[in-house]
Structure formats: C-alpha cells, structure tokens
Amino acid sequence: MSTMQSDIGLVGLAVMGQNLALNIADHGFRISVYNRTRETTEKFVAENPSTPGGIQGCASLEELVGSLKRPRKIILLVKAGAPTDSVINSLVPLLEPGDILIDGGNAHWMDTIRRERDLRAKGLRFIGSGVSGGEEGARWGPSLMPGGEYAAWKEIEPIWTAIAAKVDPATGKPLTGASPGKPIQGGVPCTTYIGPDGAGHYVKMVHNGIEYADMQMICEAYALMSGVLGMTPEECSEIFAEWNRGLLDSFLIEITADILRQKDPVTGKPFVEVVLDTAGQKGTGKWTSVNALDLGTPAPTIAEAVFARYLSAVKEERVEASKVLTGPSSSFAGDRKAFIQAIHDALYCSKICAYAQGFQLLQAAEKEYNWKLPLGEIAKIFRGGCIIRARFLQKITEAYERNPQLKNLLLDPYFKNALDSAQANWRMVVASAAQHGVPAPSFYSALAYYDGYRSERLPANLLQAQRDYFGAHTYERVDAPRGKFFHLDWPEPGRPQLEV
Ligand code: 6PG
C-alpha cells in the first residue's frame, strides 16, 4: 500500500467514474478509487499504471478515507437515490469534520438539499455537482455545475477547473484534442460556483430538460424531412451536417448527422430504421417539467418533449390506432430547398424558446429556493463539455453580458432579431406539419409560447369570467388596480343577462 496521500477520492467505477478518475489523474492530481466489486478496482488500476497524478486502488472505504489528504474530498459516482444515501451512510462514520463529499450523479436537487443539511449537522460538507457530457465528457472535459457551501467549493475549485471542458475565450468554441496524459492547456473552464445546497443539481436538471427539448426538436426536423419531403436518412444526414456549419452548430446536431449516416452492421439498412421508435428516459426531463408546473412557470416545450417520449413508448397502442385513425393525405408540391431552410428556421426559433423557458425556470427557482443563480455564468459553462453545448450558447452568454437582469431571452436584441427574420418560415413549417399530419409538438408549443409571451392580451379574461360564473372565484378588472378582486352576481344559467 502506498503511503503517498491522494488529493481526492472517488467511489463508483462504472464508465463515468473511471473516465472522471482518468481525467483527474491526467491533470496531475493523485486519486484514490474504490468500487464495490474489488476486481473492477484492481482491473482499472492495473490498466492505468502511469498517469501523471497516479491512481491508487482501495479495497475498502476505510482504506480510501485513510489514503486522502485532509480535508478529505470524495466524489460519489453511484446510482442516484438510495444507493447514494447508502454510500454516504457508510462513509460518514469514517470522516472528520470539514471533510467534503461530492455527489457527481444526476441527483434530485431536493435530495441534495436534504443531504447537505444532514451532513452539515454532522460537521461535514456536501457538494452536489452536476456533471454533463456523458462518458466522453467525463474523460476529456465535462461541464461541471457545483452547488453547496462556498468554502467547500473553494477547496475543490482547483481540481474542478482543471478537469472541466475548456472553451476559447474569444469565440466560446470548445477546445478539443486532448489525449491520454495530455490534457488541454489554457482556455476558459466550463465550471463555476452555482450556489448553495441543491443549486448545482438543479441547474443540471434544467440542462437536461433543455437537452430533452433540443433532442425532440431535432427529431421533429428529421420527421418533417422524411415525412413531408420523403428524404432518406442519408440525405437528412447531409442537411444536418450542413446545419452544423452554421447557426445550429452543436454537439447534438453533429451526432445526429453521424447517426443518420450510420448503416446497421447486421442488415446494412440505415441504422435509424432498425431502431425501435420508443424513447426511454431516466426522469430528469420529467423533474424539470414537474418543477415548472410547481413553480407556475411556463416550460411547455420542455414538457412536450417529455410527453413526446411517453407517446412514443406506447408503441403497440399506436400500431393499433394507426389502423383505425386517419390523417391527411397531402403530398408536397412546393420548393424543397426552401422548405428545408424553413425547417432549419423553425428549429432555430423553437430552440430559442426552449432555452428561454429553461432560463426563465432558473429565475423562478432563484426565488423559490433562495438562490442567486449566475445566469450568464451558467450560459458560459454550457458552451463546452455538456450535451447541449452549441455555438448558440455564446449568444446567450452575450445576451446576459449585455443585460444581466434580462427577464426573458426572447427580449434580447439578438434573439428578437433572429425571431423576427425567421418566424415566417417557422409558422409555415408548423402549418405544413399540421397539414401533412406530421406530429411536431415541440415546434407547435414553442410557437404558441412565443405568441403567448408577446400577447398584450390573452383570452384568460374569458377564463376568469368562467371561473367567476361557476365558482365565484372572482376576477380583476382592466379599469381597477391589480390585486383588487371583484365578483359578478351571475344570473342562473340560461336566464336573461344582468341589466346594465
Ligand atoms: C449529460 C446527460 C446525462 C443524462 C443522459 C440520459 O448531461 O451528460 O444529460 O446526464 O443522464 O442524457 O438521460 P435520459 O436517459 O433521461 O434521456
């Protein structure tokens, strides 16, 4: 057993854990690792004998804790929920006041608030850190969203800034080209202190909600290309590749182009055509939507993306329904190139709305949970490493630099102009989707959100009158101050109207 003390420890050597450990060791930090199955630890250490920082395998949690410099810092990368609590409970008796546990999983932020509070009562510190970027991100640079006590963050900051993805300070573009033992030098790290207790995991959850919307919107663009224009996956791939060189340049568009080009090794058919059309999920998009409902904040496009996954999941029912229910049988007779450009614009405008909703939700959460979320910094750390990384995030970063108090992204001059110039195409695509019977719920809902948000007057006046009619729920008047409520003594249904 080595007597050299490690800078940090890590529990949970699934792929994410292994990759994060390698990333940390590549940056010259010595890391101790522990996995429940001893063979996994031994194999991992044996396979990585010479990293710059060094990796020490530990056969028990006691050994792991004993191998760390004080205050001890231990990353947990185990399954969210009960497994996380169980590891925490096993570690607590081994720790000393001031030690820091860091949960890097996709934990529910309320669990993080609870864990932080419980551990604080024991003199321990708890950081809930969102980690985005999947396996590749963990290895070469994820986007990291830490929340918890500020002083605890300062303890882990050197490691977090070293291992995070880096972007070019001038363009906001992710820096690439890291290889084993040779991490990226320089650049702006994609991590920042998010806020107390559950703030980091909350922001990660909203990141995932936006990720759901982004993915669904791309799928709708693909559905329109194939459903309306009859394009093959390969043809769609070329369009996505082209879009990836413009405004829509992003990780998800890039991988979509790759996926649509891929052939199935078994049948030789386009790979997407052999994949069953039922989407899975682990719940973070649902949490985002439920929380938007709880906080009374409109996030319809994110919620539609979750519902679209649910609808996809009832495959057998849809197959039966497809034999019974009919739709339009229109064929496309317009300019194909122009329609593809219109889909591009619809995707771009809908994307702006989904991000506007996500950032609006962050603002609502600030009030609800007593946080001060650094919205501009959050946009910055989403520019690299994470799943939603995109050129677009540079524009959001600039929007918050222009106006840190920005109420809604739609109101930023850059996005306002983008919506002004692209919305005719967006409306045309939504209408065409309806006309051709191609479901495009996130495009529709984003447009309805846009039109709703920009409406000085909505039909909620009628709604309030209905509520007052059947339940005496009262209403406010246009000619009275806000907050003053009235009730009309309605006649019985069907009776003559009240005299004026
Ligand atoms: C990330 C991702 C990741 C998430 C997957 C799967 O930022 O790296 O958001 O954390 O777990 O994308 O999510 P679903 O299974 O819910 O689609």
Which tokens go with 205? 């959850």
Same domain, 389 and 313: yes
| Catalytic residue (one of 73, 116, 155, 211) | 211
pLDDT higher than 80, residue 286: yes
Residues 6+ apart with CB under 8 A from 84: 76, 78, 103, 105, 107, 111, 115
Judge if the beta carbon of residue 279 lies within 6 A of ligand 1. Answer: no
> Is 2 a domain residue?
no
> Is 143 a domain residue?
yes
Same domain, 206 and 192: no
In terms of Cα–Cα distance, which of 105, 104, 125, 129 is closest to 115?
Answer: 125
Q: How far is the CA of 134 from the centre of ligand 1 (A)?
A: 7
Residue whose CB lies within 8 A of the most ligand 1 atoms, among 103, 387, 388, 393, for a mutation test: 387
pLDDT at site 255: 98
Q: How far is the CA of 205 from the centre of ligand 1 (A)?
A: 9
Mind listing the pLDDT tens digit for each residue in 331-382? 899 999 999 999 999 999 999 999 999 999 999 999 999 999 999 999 999 9
Q: How confident is the model at residue 495 (pLDDT cuts 50, 70, 90)?
A: confident
Kindly report the CATH number assigned to the domain that includes residue 134: 3.40.50.720
The CA angle 369-129-9, to the nearest 5 degrees, is 140
Q: How far is the CA of 280 from the centre of ligand 1 (A)?
A: 11
Same domain, 168 and 316: no
Mind listing the pLDDT tens digit for each residue in 367-426? 999 999 999 999 999 999 999 999 999 999 999 999 999 999 999 999 999 999 999 999
Same domain, 326 and 425: yes
Same domain, 222 and 193: no
Mind listing the pLDDT tens digit for each residue in 435-464? 999 999 999 999 999 999 999 999 999 999
In terms of Cα–Cα distance, which of 143, 382, 349 is closest to 248?
Answer: 349
Between these two residues, 442 and 2, which has the higher pLDDT value?
442
Number of domains in the chain: 3
> What residue numbers bound the domain in which 495 lies?
458-500
Q: How confident is the model at residue 496 (pLDDT cuts 50, 70, 90)?
A: confident
Same domain, 31 and 64: yes
Which tokens go with 167? 């972007």
| Catalytic residue (one of 204, 351, 380, 395) | 204
Q: Which of 197, 229, 263 is the last residue of a domain?
A: 197
The atom of ligand 1 lying closest to the CA of 285 is 16
166 assigned to active site: no
204 assigned to active site: yes
Query: If you average pLDDT over every residue of the chain, what do you get?
Result: 96
pLDDT at site 494: 82
The atom of ligand 1 lying closest to the CA of 143 is 7
- Average pLDDT, integer, range 168-192: 93
Same domain, 208 and 311: yes
pLDDT higher than 70, residue 1: no
Same domain, 94 and 143: yes
pLDDT higher than 90, residue 475: yes
pLDDT at site 330: 82
Q: How confident is the model at residue 67 (pLDDT cuts 50, 70, 90)?
A: very high
> Is 3 a domain residue?
no
Residues 6+ apart with CB under 8 A from 55: 21, 22, 25, 30, 31, 32, 33, 44, 45, 48
Residue with tokens 């900051």: 157
Judge if the beta carbon of residue 281 lies within 6 A of ligand 1. Answer: yes
Same domain, 347 and 427: yes
The atom of ligand 1 lying closest to the CA of 142 is 8
Same domain, 110 and 143: yes
Strands of 100-223, DSSP E: 100-103, 125-132, 143-148, 166-167, 188-189
Residues 6+ apart with CB under 8 A from 475: 464, 465, 467, 468, 485, 486, 487, 488
Same domain, 149 and 263: no
Query: In this structure, are residues 30 and 12 in contact, taking their beta carbons and an 8 Å threshold?
Result: no
Mind listing the pLDDT tens digit for each residue in 120-176? 999 999 999 999 999 999 999 999 999 999 999 999 999 999 999 999 998 889 999
Query: In this structure, are residues 56 and 6 in contact, taking their beta carbons and an 8 Å threshold?
Result: yes
The CA angle 184-255-343, to the nearest 5 degrees, is 125
Judge if the beta carbon of residue 132 lies within 6 A of ligand 1. Answer: yes
> Is 1 a domain residue?
no
Q: How confident is the model at residue 500 (pLDDT cuts 50, 70, 90)?
A: confident
Judge if the beta carbon of residue 214 lies within 6 A of ligand 1. Answer: no
> Is 322 a domain residue?
yes
Question: Could you give the CA distance from residue 211 to residue 229 in angstroms, rounded to a whole number?
Answer: 26
What are the percentages of helix, strand and coil residues in the chain, rounded to 5?
A: 55, 10, 35
Query: Residue of the nearest CA to atom 17 in ligand 1?
Result: 281
Residues 6+ apart with CB under 8 A from 274: 264, 266, 267
Same domain, 109 and 225: no
**Count, residues in the chain:** 500
pLDDT higher than 80, residue 2: no
